[in-house]
Amino acid sequence: MSAVVQTKENYFKSANFKKKTGQAIVLIVLILGSLLILSPIWWMIATSLKDMKEIMTYPPTFIPKEWHWENYLITLQKGPFLQYTLNTLFITVFVVIGNVVANSFIAYGFAKIHFKGRNVLFACVLATMMIPGFVTLVPQYVIYAKLGWLNTYLPLILPAFFGSAFNIFLLRQFFLTIPNELIEAAKIDGANHLYIWWKIFIPLAKPAIATVAIFSFNGAWNDFLGPLLYINDESLYTLQLGLQIFKGQNDTQWNFLMAGSLMVLLPVITLFFFFQRYFIEGMNLTAGSKG
Amino acid sequence: MERIVINKPEITKKYKKQKASSSLQRKEGLQGYLFIAPWIIGFLFFMAGPLLFSLYGSFTNFNITSKMDFIGLDNFKKMFTNDPIIWLSLKNTLYYVVISVPLTTAGAVVLAVLLNQGIKGMRVFRTIFYLPAVLSGVGVYLLWMQLLSPSSGLVNTLLGFVGIDGPAWLTDPSWTKNALIFMKMWSVGGGMLLYLASLQGVSQSLYEAAEIDGATSFRKFFHITLPMITPVIFFDLVTSTIGAFQIFQEAYVMSESGDGGPANSLVFFNLHMWNKAFEVFDMGYAMAMSWVLFIIILVLTVFNLKIAPRWVHYEGEDRK
Amino acid sequence: MKTVRKTLVSLLILAISFSLILAGCSSKESGGSKSSGTKDGEKVVIDFWTFWGSETRRPIIEKIIDDFNKSQDKIEVKHTYLPWGDVWTKNLASIAAGNPADLIINDINAVGHRAQNNQNTNLAKYIEQDPEVKDRFYPELYNASLYEGDPYALPFNTDTRLMFWNKDMFEEAGLDPNTPPKTWAELEEMGKKLDVKKGDKYERIGYLPNQGIGADVWMINADGKGYWDFDAKKAIINDESNVEALTWMKNYYDYYGDKTINSFKAEFGEQTADPFVAGKLAITTDNANFFTKIRDYGDGMNFGVAPLPAMEEGNGNSSWGGGFVAEIPKGAKHPDEAWEFLKYLTDVQAQEYWAVKNFDIVANKEAAEKAAGSAEFSEEGKMVYSEATENMKQTLLTPTPIEAPDYINLIQPEIESVLLGKKSPKEGLDAAQKAVEELVKSNKK
Q: What is the rounded distance in angstroms from the CA atom of residue C218 to the CA atom of residue C241? A: 10
Residue B229 has what pLDDT?
86
pLDDT tens readout for residues B13-62 = 666 666 656 777 788 888 888 999 999 999 998 889 999 999 999 999 99
H/E element, A247: none
Distance CA A81, CA A264 (A): 10
Which residues of chain C make contact with A128, given a CB cutoff of 8 A?
A: none
- How many alpha carbons fall within 13 Å on the CB side of residue C89? 21
- Would the pLDDT of C18 be above 70? no
CA B243, CA C125: separation in Å to the nearest integer? 49
pLDDT tens-digit readout, C188-209: 999 999 999 888 788 899 999 8
Helices (runs of H) and strands (runs of E) counted in chain A:
17, 0
Q: Residues C117, C323: contact at Cβ < 8 Å?
A: no
Task: Determine the 3-state secondary structure of C324 from DSSP.
Answer: strand
pLDDT at A130 over 80: yes
Distance CA(A122)–CA(C108), nearest Å, equals 48
Return the sign of the alpha-carbon dihedral for residues B313, B318, B320, C5: negative
Q: Identify whether residues B238 and B300 lie together within a single domain.
A: yes
Q: In this complex, do B200 and A283 lie within 8 Å of one another by their Cβ atoms?
A: yes
Q: Are C161 and C392 in contact (CB under 8 A)?
A: no
Residue B120 forms part of a structural domain: yes
Given a contact cutoff of 8 angstroms between Cβ atoms, the answer to whether C60 and A255 are in contact is: no
Q: How near does any CA of chain B get to the CA of A227, in Å?
A: 13
Buried b (16+ CB within 10 A) or exposed e, B14-36: eeeeeeeeeeeeeebbebbbebb
**Could you tell me if C28 lies within 8 Å of chain B, comparing CB atoms?**
no
Alpha-carbon distance of C49 to C80, in angstroms, equals 5
pLDDT in tens, B134-179: 887 778 888 888 888 887 788 888 888 888 888 888 888 889 999 9
For residue B31, report the phi and psi dihedrals to the nearest 5 degrees.
Answer: -60, -40
Mean of per-residue pLDDT scores for chain A? 85
Under 8 Å CB-to-CB from C148, ≥6 apart: which residues? C115
CB C283 within 8 A of CB C207: yes
Query: What is the domain range of residue B240?
Result: 74-311
What is residue A289's predicted lDDT score, i.e. its pLDDT? 33
CB contacts, 8 Å: C445 with chain B:
74
Least confident residue range of A167-176, B307-316, C145-154, C320-329: B307-316
Would an 8 Å CB–CB cutoff place B24 in contact with chain A?
no
Mutate to test the interface with A, among B136, B161, B217, B239 (most CBs of A within 10 A): B136
Q: β-pairing, C103-107 with C43-50? A: parallel
Say if C22 is an interface residue toward chain B (CB within 8 Å).
Answer: yes
> Is the pLDDT confidence value at C258 over 80?
no
**B19 and B113 both lie in a single domain:** no
Write the burial class of residue C7 (CB in 10 Å: 0-12 exposed, 13-18 middle, 19+ buried): exposed
∠ CA C165-C168-C173, nearest 5°, is 90
The answer on B24 and B110 residing in a single domain is: no
From B189's Cα to the closest Cα of chain C, the distance in A is 28
**Subunits adjacent to chain A (3 or more Cβ pairs under 8 Å):** B, C
DSSP secondary structure, C348-363, as one string: HHHHHHHHHHHT-EES
* C435–B84 C-beta distance less than 8 A: yes
Contact A273, B134 (CB under 8 A): no
Q: Is C71's Cβ below 8 Å from some Cβ in B?
A: no
- Long-range pairs for A72-75: beta carbons < 8 A, 24 or more residues apart: A72/A48, A72/A259, A72/A263, A74/A256, A75/A246, A75/A256, A75/A259, A75/A260, A75/A263
* Inter-CA distances, C104 with A188, C46, C50, C178, C250, Å: 66, 11, 6, 43, 40
- Reduced to 3 states (helix: H, G, I; strand: E, B; else coil), residue A249 is coil
What φ, ψ does residue B315 adopt, rounded to 5°? -65, -45
CATH number at residue B147: 1.10.3720.10
C281-298, pLDDT tens digit by residue?
999 999 998 999 999 888
**One-letter amino acid for residue C426 of the chain:** K
d(CA C204, CA A271): 49
**3 state DSSP class of B137:** coil
Interface test with B, best of A13, A30, A100 (most B CBs within 10 A): A30
Q: How distant is the Cα of A112 from the closest Cα of chain C, in angstroms?
A: 23
Residues B4 and B247: their CA atoms lie apart, in Å, by: 64
Alpha-carbon distance of A123 to A287, in angstroms, equals: 35
**Rounded to a whole number, what is the distance in Å from the CA of A97 to chain B's nearest CA?**
14
Report the residue of B39, B182, B315 to disrupt the A interface, i.e. the one with the largest count of A CBs within 10 Å. B39
How far is residue C245 from each of residues B74, B90, C227, C242, C275, measured CA to CA in Å?
38, 33, 12, 5, 23
Nearest to residue C411, comparing CAs of C394, C385, C393, C434?
Answer: C434
Asked whether residue B248 is assigned to any structural domain, the reply reads yes
Asked, for residue B66, whether it belongs to a domain, the answer is no
Domain boundaries defined on chain A: 8-68, 72-290
Alpha carbon of A180: minimum distance to chain B alpha carbons (Å):
6
Quick one: B234 exposed, middle or buried, by C-beta within 10 A (0-12, 13-18, 19+)? buried
CA pair distance B38, C347, nearest whole angstrom: 56
Name the class of domain A72-290: mainly alpha
Q: Give the span between the Cα atoms of C334 and A212, in whole angstroms.
A: 45
Residue to mutate among A245, A246, A253, with most C CBs inside 10 A, is: A245
- Work out the burial of residue A6: count CB atoms within 10 Å of its CB; fewer than 13 is exposed, 13-18 middle, 19 or more buried: exposed
Q: DSSP class of residue C43?
A: E
Higher pLDDT, C114 or A189: C114
First-last CA distance in chain B: 26
CA distance C445 to C442: 6
Contact B82 C413 (CB under 8 A): no
Find residues 131-160 of chain B whose CB sits inside 8 Å of chain C. Answer: 142, 145-146, 149-152
Q: How confident is the model at residue B211 (pLDDT cuts 50, 70, 90)?
A: confident
Q: Which residue of A has its CA nearest to C294?
A: A56
Q: Could you read off the pLDDT of A235-287 as tens digits, one per residue? A: 999 999 999 888 877 778 889 999 999 999 898 889 888 888 776 665 444 33
**Rounded to the nearest 10 degrees, how much is the dihedral formed by the CA atoms of A69, A71, A73, A77?**
170
If we measure between CA atoms, which residue out of C156, C75, C52 comes closest to residue C111?
Answer: C156
DSSP per-residue string spanning C6-37: HHHHHHHHHHHHHHHHHHH--TTS---S--S-
Residues B288/B293/B298/B301 CA torsion (nearest 10 deg):
-170
**Position C278 pLDDT exceeds 50:** yes
Do B162 and B209 lie in a common domain?
A: yes
Rounded Cα distance, C374 and C385, in Å: 10
Residue B149: count of CB within 10 angstroms of its CB? 27
Same domain for B158 and B307, yes or no, is yes
Task: Count A/B contacts: CB-CB distance under 8 Å.
Answer: 284
C11-34: b (≥16 Cβ within 10 Å) or e: eeeebbeebbebbbbbbeeebebe
**Confidence bin at C262 (pLDDT 50/70/90):** confident
CB B78 within 8 A of CB B285: yes
Q: Does any CB of chain C come closer than 8 Å to the CB of residue A74?
A: no
Q: Is residue B171 part of a domain?
A: yes
* CA–CA dist C252, C285 (Å, integer): 15
Q: In this predicted structure, what is the pLDDT of residue C6?
A: 59
- Smallest Cβ distance to B146: which of C27, C118, C269? C269
The pLDDT score that the predictor gives to residue A275 is 81
* SS3 of chain C: helix, strand, coil, percent, to 5: 50, 15, 35
What single string gives the DSSP state of each residue in B39-108?
HHHHIIIIIIHHHHHHHHHTTBT--SSS---B-TTHHHHHHHHS-HHHHHHHHHHHHHHHHHHHHHHHHH
Cβ within 8 Å of A, B 208-267: 208-209, 217, 231-232, 234-235, 238-239, 242, 245-246, 248
Q: Are B172 and B264 in contact (CB under 8 A)?
A: no
Chain B residues within 8 A of A131 when measuring between CB atoms: 51, 290, 294
Query: Among A40, A166, A280, whose Cβ lies nearest the Cβ of B154?
Result: A40
Contact in structure between B25 and B242 (CB atoms under 8 Å): no
Q: Which of A163, A265, A291 has the CB atom closest to B39's CB atom? A: A163
Decide if C58 and A147 are in contact by the 8 Å CB cutoff: no
Does residue B41 sit within a domain?
yes
Which segment of B255-264, C246-255, C386-395 scores lowest on mean pLDDT?
B255-264
Domain total of chain B: 2
- Residues 259-298 of chain B with CB under 8 A from chain A are 270, 273-274, 277, 283, 286-287, 290, 293-294, 297-298
- Please give the pLDDT value at position A288: 30
Which residues of chain A have a CB within 8 Å of the CB of C19?
Answer: 143
With a CB cutoff of 8 Å and minimum separation 6, the contacts of B217 are: A22
Mean residue pLDDT of chain C comes to 88
Torsion of CA A176, A182, A184, A186, to 10 degrees: -130
Instruction: Point out the residue among B36, B208, B232 whose CB comes nearest to the CB of A110.
Output: B36
Give the other-Cβ count within 10 Å of A89's Cβ. 15
Residue-wise pLDDT for A144-170, tens only, equals: 998 999 999 999 999 999 999 999 998
Give the mean model confidence (pLDDT) for residues C157-166: 94
Please state, as a whole number, how many other Cβ atoms lie within 10 Å of the Cβ of residue A18: 13
* Minimum Cα–Cα distance from A152: chain C residue: C34
